[in-house]
Amino acid sequence: MDMKMTYRQPLLPPLAEIDDKDEALVLLLQKGLPLTPTPYADIGKKIGMREKDVIGRLTYLNESGIIKRFGVVVRHHELGYRANAMTVWNIADDKISELGACMGGFDFVTLCYRRPRRLPEWPYNLFTMIHGKNREHVLSNVALLVKQCGLNTVKHEVLFSSKRFKQRGALYRK
Amino acid sequence: MQLNLENKLNKSQLNMLEKHLLNDFQHGFPLVPRPYARIAKELETTEELIIESIARLKQQGFISRVGAVFRANSIGASTLAAISVPENKLESIAAIVNEYSEVNHNYKREHHFNLWFVLTARDEHELNAVLDDIEQRTGYSVMYLPMVEDFHIDLGFDLGFELELNLERQNEWT
């Protein structure tokens, strides 16, 4: 059953610059914003930054898109959205920006990434994570995407997760 | 624990304030010195109650944290990876993959590529070292699928609550 595949290729360079102070902020933010009246000042104290600089840096990271969103991170599963499927699509290269943008705008789509194809085993180049309350709900959301983005002729597969071995935020360490 | 959460959801025991906190502040969390006071003003309550409520939602598992969601690969290096494993070996291979602190998600999915995980490391070099190690220890090739382009506009996830308060969102802050 051993499959021999050589799949390595260089990663893309980081998309934006962050400096050492940002790294210290990021490390602290992984644990979440303190639940105190002045959380930014409290974070600042730990890393030798003034409150207004913490807020300024976070505002910059937010506006420049390094932070995609800043706010409450909910647990879908615990809130009743029990099903998710990684739905993968084989999209013509010249259509991928248009169709990716269409799919990425739906709120039940929580990830929408272009990734390399790995031929012949893996022809899919667009990866979407589709959430729903149950399997039927997920499938109806997939059908909605097909209809709204005009994907009738696009080959796709719906990979439901059937077991969660691990789930936590990314740990970034210096 | 899980059952209690489900009961709470089914019985709609989440109060209106909790629903607003879960749904309305997934992005655009106030970057001001007293963010919880700002939210309190918007939801017409007290800073103390906002902090208490978020702490409780966190303790109950509905919220993982208040914080930043970073754009993939802007901090460190990460990739999606998959292995095709015989069904009877899946649990033991998944356990090996779980041992790595660089692995933050690990799911069984319904496909012949049946083990899917996300790796985050400090840089590409470290990422490759972990992938090599996993291949060597499991004896299976890892399909390596780094992100090429992100099409997702992350505004959080509409939880579909019927929110009766219908307070006007203030947009002067982001």
Classify domain B77-145 at the CATH topology level: Alpha-Beta Plaits (3.30.70)
Strand partners, B107: A164, B116
ipTM over 0.85: no
Q: Which two tokens stand for residue B7?
A: 């009961």
Contact A74 B156 (CB under 8 A): yes
Structural domain boundaries in chain B: 2-59, 77-145
pLDDT digits (tens, 9 = 90+) for A85-104: 999 999 999 999 999 999 99
| Cα separation values, A113 from A87, A117, A124, B80, Å | 11, 12, 11, 10
Q: Which of A75, A126, A168 sits opposite B62 (nearest CB)?
A: A75
pLDDT for B69 equals: 84
How high is the pLDDT of residue A52?
Answer: 96
Cβ-count burial A137-156 (b if 16+ within 10 Å, e if not): bbbebbeebbeebebeebeb
* pTM more than 0.90: no
- Of B29, B51, B139, nearest to A35 by CB-CB distance is B51
pLDDT in tens, B100-159: 999 988 999 999 999 999 998 888 899 999 999 999 999 999 999 999 998 887 767 777
How far apart are the CA of B164 and the nearest CA of chain A, in angstroms? 19
Residues 27..46 of B with a Cβ closer than 8 Å to A: which? 27-29, 31-37
Q: Which of A9, A32, A167 lies at the smallest CB-CB distance from B67?
A: A32
